[in-house]
């Protein structure tokens, strides 16, 4: 018999939504989505070590913004897996946090997927992949994609995934804002703005993926992808945080092919031609004073991976 490892570490990527088409509010409060996810190379690492009682620690520049109590998605993930296997969640989880917190890049979801995989390996519970995906969906709409990574279309509230082919790498710069935006607040603002424009729930079409965007992804064609980027939550995020309009302008002035708010924001994502353009755009964005940091990253990135 092999001894279980003393510590298991899993690396998990952030995501950007290259298309986020949002339907009207459903009776359960969620919205139907056509959500095209792309995993990008900004990572959190989640380590799981045996411990006499559950414990969570977080490191990284934004560690103070991460809740350490039972509301932490990584803690909830460990508990859910332990319950499923009828055991105690006696584990020390450590999150090395590099994904912006409340930034619209699914950082909490990444930690949940990382904790599930790390604990499953540490405890030797050998949960089948399909069951891990179902546990992910219980934890949150974006968690299944954090596990799988790459590129995928998410239907339903984003949790029903179909993997998508990508024909190459796409270069991005992420302009990270000071402070976060609450995802539920942004959806509420989206509904409010639509009502105010006379587009109530019945007037919002079924969200559908854009064929031109899927073709651009498949071809690895950055210019074509830039022309079809779309985020229905962007007007709501800009309404709640008007300074994002300046960040978006600064990214275009810095030579980006296109820019959009990442998910519910406030991080802004800029698609650029290549690595050199990414480095130049990141510098120009920082110099513009319209963001806290600017981070180049490449997608697609692999999903949750044991390291």
- Annotated binding site for ATP: which residue ranges? 100-110
Nearer to ligand ATP, 109 or 277 (CB): 109
Within 124-153, the residues that bind ligand ATP by CB under 6 A are 142
| Given 21, 40, 73, 229, the residue binding ligand ATP (CB under 6 A) | 73
* Binding status of residue 91 toward ligand ATP by CB under 6 A: no
The nearest distance, CB 93 to ligand ATP, in angstroms, is 9
Report the C-alpha gap between 8 and 307 in whole angstroms. 8
Cα 119 to chain centroid, rounded? 21
| Given 32, 98, 111, 159, the residue binding ligand ATP (CB under 6 A) | 111
Dmax (CA) for the chain in angstroms is 66
| Given 25, 104, 300, 303, the residue binding ligand ATP (CB under 6 A) | 104
Active site residue 98: no
Among the residue ranges 78-86, 98-106, 117-125, 199-207, the one whose residues contact ligand ATP (CB under 6 A): 98-106
Comparing CA positions, the residue from 251, 237, 243 lying closest to residue 288 is 251
Helix (H) or strand (E) holding 36: strand 31-50
Please give the structure tokens belonging to residue 12: 């998990």
Please give the structure tokens belonging to residue 305: 């991976």
Among the residue ranges 23-31, 94-102, 212-220, 285-293, the one whose residues contact ligand ATP (CB under 6 A): 94-102
How many residues sit in the footprint of ligand ATP (CB under 6 A)? 22
| Given 19, 45, 183, 234, the residue binding ligand ATP (CB under 6 A) | 183
Report the C-alpha gap between 281 and 271 in whole angstroms. 10
Active site residue 44: no
Report the C-alpha gap between 17 and 198 in whole angstroms. 26
What ranges in 178-258 are assigned the alpha helix state H? Answer: 183-196, 211-219, 222-228, 234-240, 244-253
- Annotated binding site: which residue ranges? 100-110
Using CB under 6 A as the criterion, which residues of the chain lie in contact with ligand ATP when the complex forms? 66-67, 71-74, 95, 101-109, 111, 142, 180, 183, 263-264
Catalytic residues: 15, 142
């Amino acid at each position: 018999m092999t001894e279980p490892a003393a510590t298991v570490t899993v690396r998990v990527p952030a995501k950007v939504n290259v298309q986020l088409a949002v339907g009207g509010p459903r009776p359960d409060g969620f919205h139907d989505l056509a959500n095209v996810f792309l995993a990008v190379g900004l990572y959190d690492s989640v380590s799981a070590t045996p411990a006499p009682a559950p414990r969570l620690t977080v490191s990284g520049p934004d560690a103070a913004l991460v809740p350490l109590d039972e509301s932490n998605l990584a803690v909830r993930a460990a508990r859910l897996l332990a319950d499923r296997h009828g055991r105690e969640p006696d584990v020390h989880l450590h999150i090395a946090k590099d994904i912006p917190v409340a930034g619209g890049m699914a950082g909490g979801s990444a930690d949940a997927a990382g904790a599930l995989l790390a604990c499953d390996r540490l405890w030797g519970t050998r949960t089948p992949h399909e069951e891990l995906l179902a546990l992910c969906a219980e934890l949150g709409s974006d968690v299944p994609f954090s596990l799988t990574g790459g590129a995928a279309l998410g239907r339903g509230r984003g949790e029903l995934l179909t993997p998508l082919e990508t024909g190459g790498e796409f270069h991005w710069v992420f302009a990270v804002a000071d402070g976060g935006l609450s995802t539920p607040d942004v959806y509420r603002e989206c509904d409010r703005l639509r009502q105010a424009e006379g587009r109530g729930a019945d007037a919002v079409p079924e969200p559908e993926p854009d064929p031109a965007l899927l073709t651009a992804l498949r071809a690895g064609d950055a210019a074509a992808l830039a022309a079809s980027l779309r985020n229905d939550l962007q007007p709501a995020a800009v309404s709640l945080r008007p300074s994002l309009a300046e960040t978006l302008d600064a990214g275009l002035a810095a030579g980006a092919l296109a820019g959009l708010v990442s998910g519910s924001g406030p991080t802004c994502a800029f698609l650029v031609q290549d690595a050199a353009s990414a480095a130049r755009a990141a510098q120009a964005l920082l110099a513009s004073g319209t963001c806290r940091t600017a981070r180049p990253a490449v997608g697609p990135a692999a999903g949750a991976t044991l390291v």
